[in-house]
Structure 1
Amino acid sequence: MISDDERIALFLDYENLAIGARDGLGVSPFAFGPIADALAERGRVVARRAYADWSYFDEDRRLLARAQVELIEIPQRLGGSRKNAADIKLAVDAVELALERGFITTFAIGTGDSDFTPLVHKLRELDKRVIGIGVQSSTSALLPPACDEFLFYDRLPGVERSIPPAGPRRGRRPTAAPPAGATPVEAPPTPAATPVEVLAPAADESVEDDDRDLGALVARTLAGLQRHADGPVLASRVKRAILRKDPTFDEADHGFRNFSELLRRLETERVVELRPGSAQGDPEVTFPQGESAEAAEAAAFRLLVEVITRLRTPSSRPQLSGLKNQMRKREPGFSEKRYGFNNFLSFVRAARARDLVVMEWDEDTGDYVLDVPAG
Structure 2
Amino acid sequence: MINDDERIALFLDYENLAIGARDGLGVAPFDFGPVADALAERGRVVARRAYADWSAFDEDRRLLARAQVELIEIPQRVGGSRKNAADIKMAVDAIELAFARGFITTFAIGTGDSDFTPLVHKLRELDKRVIGIGVQSSTSALLPPACDEFLFYDRLPGVEPGQPTRRGRTRARPQAVPIEQPTEQPTEQPTEQPTEEAAQADDGDAAQLITRTLAGLQRHADGPVLASRLKRAVLRKDPTFDEAELGFRGFGELLRHLEGEHVLQLSPGSAQGDPEVGFPEDGSEVDDAFALLVDVVRQLQALGSPPQLSGLKDQLRKRRPGFSEKRYGFNTFLSFAKAARARNLITMRWDAAANEYLLHVPD
- TM-score, length-normalised on structure 2? 0.89
The equivalent of 1:264 in structure 2 is: 256
Length, aligned pairs only: 343
Could you say which residue in structure 1 is the equivalent of 2:246?
254
1: CA distance, partners of 2:347 / 2:31: 30
TM-score of the superposed pair, with normalisation by structure 1 = 0.86
Question: What is the aligned-residue identity percentage?
Answer: 76
Asked if residue 65 in structure 1 is aligned to residue 57 in structure 2, the reply is no
| SS of residue in 1 equivalent to 2:348 | strand
User: Amino acid of the residue matched to residue 352 of structure 1?
Assistant: R
Matched-pair contact (CA < 8 Å) for 2:226–2:275: yes
Q: Deviations over 1:26-45 (max 9, x none)?
A: 11111111110000011000
The yes-or-no answer on 1:372 pairing with 2:361 is yes
Shift of the 253–178 alpha-carbon distance from structure 1 to 2, 3 Å rule, reads: farther
| Inter-partner Cα distance in structure 1 for 2:199 and 2:308 | 26
Counterpart residue identity of residue 214, structure 2: L
State the SS of the aligned residue for 2:141. coil
The aligned residue for residue 30 of structure 1 is: 30
Q: Which has the larger radius of gyration?
A: 2
Structure 2: tracts of 5 or more residues without a match: 177-196
Letter in 2 for 1:317: P
How far 1:208 sits from its partner (Å)?
7.5
Q: Check the 8 A contact 2:116/2:143 in 1, yes or no.
A: yes
Pair 1:322 & 2:314 matched: no
Counterpart in the other structure of 1:161: 161
Which one of 296, 317, 330 corresponds to residue 307 of structure 1?
Answer: 296
Give 1:357's aligned residue.
346
Change (3 A) 1:185 1:36: closer
Residues in 1 aligned to 2:199 and 2:347: alpha-carbon distance in whole angstroms: 33
Equivalent in the alignment of 1:200: none
Q: CA RMSD in A?
A: 2.1
Q: Distance in 2 between matches of 1:75 and 1:315?
A: 56
Alpha-carbon distance between aligned partners in 2 of 1:209 and 1:323, rounded to the nearest angstrom: 22
What is the aligned partner in structure 1 of residue 324 from structure 2?
Answer: 335
SS in 2 for 1:284: strand
Pick closer, same or farther for the CA change 1:326–1:209 going to 2, 3 Å: farther
* Gap change, CA 1:186 and 1:326, over 3 Å in 2: closer
Aligned to 1:18: 18
State the partner residue of 2:203: 211
Q: Could you tell me which amino acid in structure 1 is paired with residue 308 of structure 2?
A: Q
Preserved contact between residue 348 and residue 359 of structure 2 (Cα < 8 Å): yes
1:178 & 1:354 partners in 2: Cα distance? 45
SS in structure 2 at match of 1:81: coil
Give 4+ residue runs of structure 1 displaced > 4 Å after superposition.
175-179, 205-209
Q: Which residue of 2 aligns with 1:39?
A: 39
Contact 1:59 1:184 in 2 (8 A): no
Give, in whole Å, the separation in 2 of the partners of 1:257 and 1:3.
Answer: 23
